Structure 1
């Protein structure tokens, strides 16, 4: 598999290095333990002769030449954590040149993989219109605002599509690399996972902070505060809209536009977050926690936690130790 890693100025250092380390480990194990030849021909390329990482390190890149015909292009994330820092980066000349190169490679048959902020660059190139994708959960509201044609689901860690695959926040770069290794050889991917003490994660939901997402919009921020005050009472769309001085329809539309979900679904997210906190530090049993977040019994809460987080109560208590 021929892989071109497209390095851009100010990239997220760990995103690049963890990607390269995963493929280097796979090639080493393929030869030493599986008796085969290296599976991955990885080239770090740049649209500029000199590329400096966000931490100031010089990235050795090769120029893009006509004879470079990758099977996959990987776009590491830029180091940007807010819309205010990301937007100028997407408008840089080198980023515009990189998008044009991505489109050319894609037209020649290459697939595209990205993680975290890298997904913004692919979406900016128009490659994700009408397709499912994921990105850094913390910038999901901004992503929805900027790319309304993309079917975003930030709760997922990996989302394959016809153009390639997108992965979640920050260390999702490792999940992306392991996913590509698994496509070549499940046995090799299992070995790499063991050597790196890493597994492909299916969901970002466990890591999402609902309060952070709410700050992207004033109405949603007010709705979040109202919801936290009414977790024990249960959800009423009519009461929420009345308290916020808006219509039920407006609240529903705004939640969908900013959060990609209904007001009730976001209310449930807050219940899950509160339940997680109580499982960790309160010493309360499941029945008492269920009452605290507005459920009549622990069974309903157990089902909600399993559906949303992919973990049961016992696993969550172990995760939070």
Structure 2
């Protein structure tokens, strides 16, 4: 029987870590039970493993007992890493034994799946250099600063590359679990687990949940001033040429510095700031789409809809219907 190992961090974790551990365990055990019910052998042994016999969470409010010590596991087929605390550098330091064991197992052929901020553990081990990955949208800026060699995809809910799966975060780890059930069991088992746990199947984006605040931790004063200007001129149509001229920087150099600092081109950043403001208006007011569009500097409804959909994954009308029930009434 093959083995799936769910890691239990010893500290440097939160109640979200517990949710990831328990949720992963329950979904996989249900997948095993489904196979047994249809007359097939259970394909995987599911175990919780760590560096101690039990781990405490939230100042001892909850404890999770492990079934094995990682030192005693010579081979496993899949390792699932739950979310970690927001002090990522501290989490990396505190979970060094787990990180090193994960790296060794990956070299030995194991696949890896990280949930939410568990991605930081994979990145700190150098396993994501040059690869695409996802993490919680609120951790994207910190992740880019710590791991510039990794190709972060902040809009993605799930990435799958070279035997490493990563997940956008929050309770969307359940979507990752359904994805893994389809990979490791089959489509029918994934559909069954989706229905039993009422988890949406085939969801691929976290764009609709993202709150764009802009990367501000970079230390480039000129770019910070440009960001502040963009954010203060929501109702205006701003060209990159005007921006670079305003700060007396050549267009090419301006673009290069802006992308390096924020992870977005000046145009992408401007679009994201404007659409974030539009989202707030659609969530909290009864303004119609045209009114919102004009307030954020768009005059062409088709262009506004296209940019809105590109960033959020839905149309302005769909977004308002989802997040503003009063406006619908």
2:10–2:51 contact (8 Å) kept in structure 1: no
User: Are residue 28 (structure 1) and residue 33 (structure 2) matched?
Assistant: yes
Mapping of residues 190-209 of structure 1, within 5 Å: 190-199=191-200, 200-209=202-211
Mapping of residues 1-321 of structure 1, within 5 Å: 2-10=3-11, 11=13, 12-32=17-37, 34-54=38-58, 56=60, 57-61=62-66, 62-66=68-72, 68-80=74-86, 85-92=87-94, 95-183=95-183, 184-199=185-200, 200-211=202-213, 213-217=214-218, 219=221, 222-241=225-244, 248=251, 251-320=254-323, 321=325
2:154–2:168 contact (8 Å) kept in structure 1: yes
Alpha-carbon distance between aligned partners in 1 of 2:188 and 2:320, rounded to the nearest angstrom: 31
Deviation at 1:159, TM superposition (A): 0.8
Alpha-carbon distance between aligned partners in 1 of 2:284 and 2:156, rounded to the nearest angstrom: 27
2:134–2:166 contact (8 Å) kept in structure 1: yes
Q: Compared with structure 1, are the counterparts of its residues 137 and 299 closer, same or farther at alpha carbon in structure 2 (3 Å cutoff)?
A: same
**Secondary structure at 2:269 match in 1:** helix
Stretches of structure 1 that go unaligned for 5 or more consecutive residues are none
2:208–2:314 contact (8 Å) kept in structure 1: no
**Secondary structure at 2:267 match in 1:** helix
1:111–1:163 contact (8 Å) kept in structure 2: yes
Alpha-carbon distance between aligned partners in 1 of 2:104 and 2:21, rounded to the nearest angstrom: 22
Alpha-carbon distance between aligned partners in 2 of 1:221 and 1:23, rounded to the nearest angstrom: 46
2:158–2:165 contact (8 Å) kept in structure 1: yes
Alpha-carbon distance between aligned partners in 2 of 1:40 and 1:292, rounded to the nearest angstrom: 55
Alpha-carbon distance between aligned partners in 2 of 1:309 and 1:242, rounded to the nearest angstrom: 31
Deviation at 1:222, TM superposition (A): 4.1
For normalisation by structure 1, the TM-score amounts to: 0.88
Alpha-carbon distance between aligned partners in 2 of 1:39 and 1:223, rounded to the nearest angstrom: 56
Q: Compared with structure 1, are the counterparts of its residues 67 and 230 closer, same or farther at alpha carbon in structure 2 (3 Å cutoff)?
A: closer
Alpha-carbon distance between aligned partners in 2 of 1:222 and 1:30, rounded to the nearest angstrom: 58
Deviation at 1:111, TM superposition (A): 0.7
**Secondary structure at 2:170 match in 1:** coil
1:113–1:164 contact (8 Å) kept in structure 2: yes
Alpha-carbon distance between aligned partners in 1 of 2:246 and 2:115, rounded to the nearest angstrom: 39
Q: Cα deviations across residues 190-210 of structure 1 (Å, max 9, x unaligned)?
A: 221222222243112222222
2:216–2:262 contact (8 Å) kept in structure 1: no
For normalisation by structure 2, the TM-score amounts to: 0.86
Cα RMSD for the two superposed structures:
2.3
Q: Cα deviations across residues 215-266 of structure 1 (Å, max 9, x unaligned)?
A: 4345455444322322221122244345567665565344423432212101
1:135–1:154 contact (8 Å) kept in structure 2: yes
Q: Cα deviations across residues 68-112 of structure 1 (Å, max 9, x unaligned)?
A: 4211111111122xxxx22122122xx211122112211211111
2:218–2:262 contact (8 Å) kept in structure 1: no
Q: Compared with structure 1, are the counterparts of its residues 13 and 73 closer, same or farther at alpha carbon in structure 2 (3 Å cutoff)?
A: same
Deviation at 1:166, TM superposition (A): 0.8
**Secondary structure at 1:117 match in 2:** helix
